[in-house]
Amino acid sequence: MPKMKTHSGTKKRVKLTATGKVKVSHANRAHLKSNKNNNTIRNNRSANYAPETEAKRVKKRLAGSK
């Protein structure tokens, strides 16, 4: 049976922490910031983690890398 491949799109968008949490970026962060509230921009700087239900799915896609 061939080796399992890592999902390339997931690999670029997600990081796994040492404790096994899935770290993801906030939405609405990249551009068009002039019409966004300053609180929104500031809150998007903080870390964002995927919920446990999504984390299972993401880890399955990254399984080929380990």
Confidence (pLDDT) at 56: 93
Cα–Cα distance between 25 and 23 in angstroms, integer?
A: 7
Confidence (pLDDT) at 50: 95
Cα–Cα distance between 34 and 16 in angstroms, integer?
A: 32
Confidence (pLDDT) at 19: 95
Confidence (pLDDT) at 64: 78
Cα–Cα distance between 55 and 49 in angstroms, integer?
A: 9
Confidence (pLDDT) at 2: 86
* Residue whose structure tokens are 């080796």: 3
Query: Contact at 8 Å (CB) between 6 and 60?
Result: no
Question: Low-confidence residues of the chain, pLDDT below 70?
Answer: 65-66
